[in-house]
Amino acid sequence: MPALSIVIPTLGRQHLLSRVLDRLGRQTGAGDFEVLVVADAQERDLDALDAVVAARSFHVRRIAAGRAGASAARNAGWRAASAPVVLFLDDDVLPEPSLVAEHLDWHGRYPDEHIGVLGRVRWADELRVTTFMRWLELGIQFDYPRIVGIEAGWGRFYTANASVKRALIERAGGFEEERLPFGYEDLDLARRMEPLGFHLLYNRAAVAEHVHEMDLDYWRRRVARIAVSEREFVKIHPDVPPYFFDMFRVAAASPPARGRGLRLARWVPKSLPWLGPRVWGSVDAFYRQALAAPFLAAWHSAAERAPHG
């Protein structure tokens, strides 16, 4: 039995997936692990996917999800897993050489069924990291800078690089395939695991590189999808405030942001006394307002389509 099962959902990214698997083949001190590549139900080129998976130095299987969406793919993966610990990775996230060993080491230190481990995701070295991409790190796409110590909290269960005991996933019922097929599916599972005793610990040394350049236009489309998912999430968990809805509602009601700090932000770190907070405060206000309109439009459109408004 392997010590770790790595689940990677994928759709139409054979080239990037090949690089992820290449990196997994170069892990150091990792011990025995298996990889389950899960084809989304919408994947049409299974032959190309099988070619990417073939002839690896580690045990890897390609399986298929029964329905579309990341939730169904991850469910198919962890249910087929042989190991007691499941590591979720994305197909555009390149693990650094010690990533697998770091996850296994921490699960060895914290063997309790209720403990999960969050690894860090940073922008890939090959990318030109823009001001917008830096802004995404500040509680929009990920929220690593605000983690104090090793307690990450269930709300940071980012399945781009996170591991958890298989038994706890099973007790919680897995990912919600129907209501949250993609978007908020990881946080929904974490919220359902939390009353069962789930604790997510942050291992800063379990690092992976995100090979996905992003810009404002891409995120204008993305927040429309996030709005639909967040609205469904808070219907399932009415005790949890709608994070993005509250953020963008305030932004939309604020005076227009001029974005004067955008030109300086590339050279001015947020930590720089006096100037840093002013520059990044300007950046934050500008981008929040830029994304508020598409988010709120999608939120209200979803509300109008709902049976009870």
- Divide the 309 residues of the chain into consecutive groups of 10 and give the mean pLDDT of each group: 96 97 95 96 96 94 97 98 98 98 98 98 97 96 96 98 98 98 97 98 98 97 97 97 98 95 93 95 97 98 78
CA distance 207 to 26: 14
Q: What is the pLDDT of residue 307?
A: 72
For domain 4-210, say whether CATH 3.40.50.1820 is its number: no
Q: What is the pLDDT of residue 260?
A: 93
Q: What is the pLDDT of residue 306?
A: 77
257-306 pLDDT tens trace: 999 999 999 999 989 999 999 999 999 999 999 999 999 999 999 988 87
**In the chain, domain spans:** 4-210, 216-305
Q: What is the pLDDT of residue 221?
A: 97
Q: Are 87 and 5 in contact (CB under 8 A)?
A: yes
Dmax (CA) of the chain: 59
Is this model's pTM higher than 0.85 or not? yes
Q: What is the pLDDT of residue 178?
A: 96
Can you read off the two tokens belonging to residue 237?
């968990």
Q: What is the pLDDT of residue 309?
A: 44
